[in-house]
Each structure stands twice: as C-alpha cells, then as structure tokens.
Structure 1
Amino acid sequence: MTGNQIQGLIGMTATLGILVLLVLPSVLGILRDRRIDRQIRKAQEAHREQEAQKSSSRSTVPSTATWYADGRRSKKLVSS
C-alpha cells in the first residue's frame, strides 16, 4: 500500500466512525421508544383483562345508597 492509499483508508475509517457516532444516539432512542411502547401496550392489555374480569365477577349486591334507602323506607312503614 502506498501512502495515499493509507491516507484514504484512514480518512474513510474516520468518516465512517463519525457517521456511526452521529447515527448511534438516534438508533438507541428508537429502540428505547419501541421498548417503552411495548411495555405500555402490555400494561394496557393487562388492564383491559383485569377490567373484563371485574365486570364479569361483579356481585349483584345493591349499592350502599340502595341499602340505605330501603332501610329508611321500611322504618317509615313501621312507624306509620
């Protein structure tokens, strides 16, 4: 190899190195965003499954307001 070829090789290697240093943060950011998106999707799916289980296993017990109103109605009937 001649001196010119070595200089050309060094220049090309330096150029590729600089290119890698400029592109690397973007690639790492994209990979990080994809990982976060995957985690969010997984959490949303788990939340949906949990909500589906809650709605299917809901008891038919009346709410506190209904229970309180029924109690008040029965007291009125007894006292009158």
Structure 2
Amino acid sequence: METTHVEALIGMLTVLGLLVLMVLPAVIGIAHERRIDRQLKRAGTDRAAHTSAGASRPARSPAHGPARSATSHHTARAA
C-alpha cells in the first residue's frame, strides 16, 4: 500500500513539473512584453514632455527650405 502512495506522489510531481516547463516560457514572455510596454509608455511621456517644452520655439517656415536629416543622401552609381 505504501508503494502506491509513493508512485502517485512521483506521478503527480512529474505532471506538475511538466506543467511548469510548459507554462514558464509564456510567463517569461508576458513579463518581457510588460517591460517593453512600460518602456514605450515612459518614452512616449518623455517625448510629449520634451515636445511641449519645445513648443515655445518658432516653427520652421518654408522660406528656409526643407528640413534636412543628419544623414547624407548619395545616389548609387553603376560600376
């Protein structure tokens, strides 16, 4: 009778271990996504605060030409 209880305990622990192994990647993924969401939210609020602080500067008028990026634009040449 004792061996039946031990076998049942081993079986239950095995099933529980397999359940943990299957659920663990999902829990890690959820935690990772929540961290990314918090970072995006923080970046959005920082950007909104930065944009509203810069609103006192005058807007660039079309007379000054188009806005340019910091990267240079070169066309590719055929060899």
TM-score (norm 2): 0.72
Rounded Cα–Cα distance in structure 2 between residues aligned with 1:63 and 1:35 = 40
Instruction: Tell me the equivalent position of 1:16.
Output: 16
- How far residue 24 of structure 1 moved from its aligned partner, in angstroms, is 0.4
Percent identity, please: 42
Distance in 2, matches of 1:21 and 1:64, equals 60
Following TM superposition, where does structure 1 have runs of at least 4 consecutive aligned residues deviating by more than 6 angstroms?
A: none
Rounded to whole Å, the distance in 2 between the matches of 1:3 and 1:17 is 21
In the other structure, the counterpart of 1:47 is 47
CA distance in 2, matches of 1:55, 1:65: 20
Q: Which residue of 1 aligns with 2:63?
A: 65
Q: Which amino acid aligns with 1:48?
A: A
Question: Where does structure 1 lack aligned partners over 5 or more consecutive residues?
Answer: 67-80
Unmatched 5+ stretches in structure 2: 65-79
Change (3 A) 1:43 1:5: same
Q: Which amino acid aligns with 1:65?
A: A
Aligned residues: CA RMSD: 2.2
Following superposition, the deviation at residue 65 of structure 1 comes to 2.3
Higher helix share: 1
